[in-house]
Amino acid sequence: MDSASGQEPRRESPPPAFREVQHFRRSWLWLVVLLPTILAWWPFVRQVLGGQPVGQHPLPDWGVWLVWLLIGVGLPLFFGLLRMEVELTDRELTIVYRPLARRRVLLAEILQVEVRHYNALKEYGGWGVKGWSRDKMAYNVSGDQGVELRLKDGRSLLVGSRRPDELAETIRQQCRRLSGE
């Protein structure tokens, strides 16, 4: 206990054994995002900034502002900030899909670790946080490689990774260390 403050000293947590951050950088995705973004900017520039109503039944200026903020600014900002962070500590694997989801898996719950190739579209319906069923989920950003974890309760969890071999081996090492092997 710290005699000056009367509180327990704060313990520094050790650095993670593994950390990976992945961003959505696929060019086709940005093309899909940019089309509605441009379509939201055009009426904003013409009607709000230029004073010329757009179309035969134009939206009021507040409506154009709203569409511009949500789609013209919000959509590209959302996809620009979207990322997946995978962090492995001495006790758990944490997957954060910012700003949408967070998942923690205790290492003690992992039965099997397997590096594998997968087809995101066929197996999970695409990239992202997929497979909202109880038995099978995937967290991925791009690519076709990942680490599949089989858990003690029968569920499986796939974590997409650009460094799947390193992630799998580090999970195995941490699980062995935790179990005292």
What's the pLDDT tens digit per position in 13-70?
678 889 999 987 667 777 888 899 999 999 999 999 999 999 899 999 999 999 999 9
Q: Are residues 38 and 52 in the same domain?
A: yes
Query: pLDDT class for 4, splitting at 50, 70, 90?
Result: low
Per-residue pLDDT tens digits for 63-121? 999 999 999 999 998 888 889 999 999 999 999 988 788 899 999 999 999 999 998 88
Alpha helices per DSSP H over the chain: 27-43, 61-67, 75-81, 164-179
Is 116 contained in some domain?
A: yes
Confidence of residue 11 (pLDDT cuts 50, 70, 90): low
Q: Which of 62, 81, 100 is the last residue of a domain?
A: 81
Is 105 part of any domain? yes
CATH code (residue 128): 2.30.29.30
Show the tokens assigned to 79. 């996809």
What is the CA 112 to chain-centroid distance, rounded?
Answer: 23
pLDDT score at 36: 92
Is there a domain that residue 148 lies in? yes
Q: Which domain holds residue 175?
A: 84-179
DSSP letter at 44? Answer: I
Q: Which of 1-15, 81-95, 133-147 has the highest mean pLDDT?
A: 81-95
CA distance 159 to 149: 8
- For β-strands 136-140 and 156-160, DSSP reports them as parallel
Total domains in the chain come to: 2
Final residue before a domain boundary, out of 36, 62, 81: 81
Question: In terms of domains, do 173 and 115 share one?
Answer: yes
Mean pLDDT, the chain, integer = 87
Residue-level pLDDT at 179 = 78
What pTM does this model have?
A: 0.74
The distance from CA 131 to its chain's CA centroid, rounded to whole angstroms, is 14
Q: Are residues 135 and 162 in the same domain?
A: yes
Q: Do 67 and 119 fall into the same domain?
A: no
Residues 112, 34, single domain; the answer is no
Domain boundary among 81, 106, 129: 81
91 shares its domain with 142: yes
Q: Which residue has the higher pLDDT, 179 or 58?
A: 58
Same domain? For 75 and 99 the reply is: no
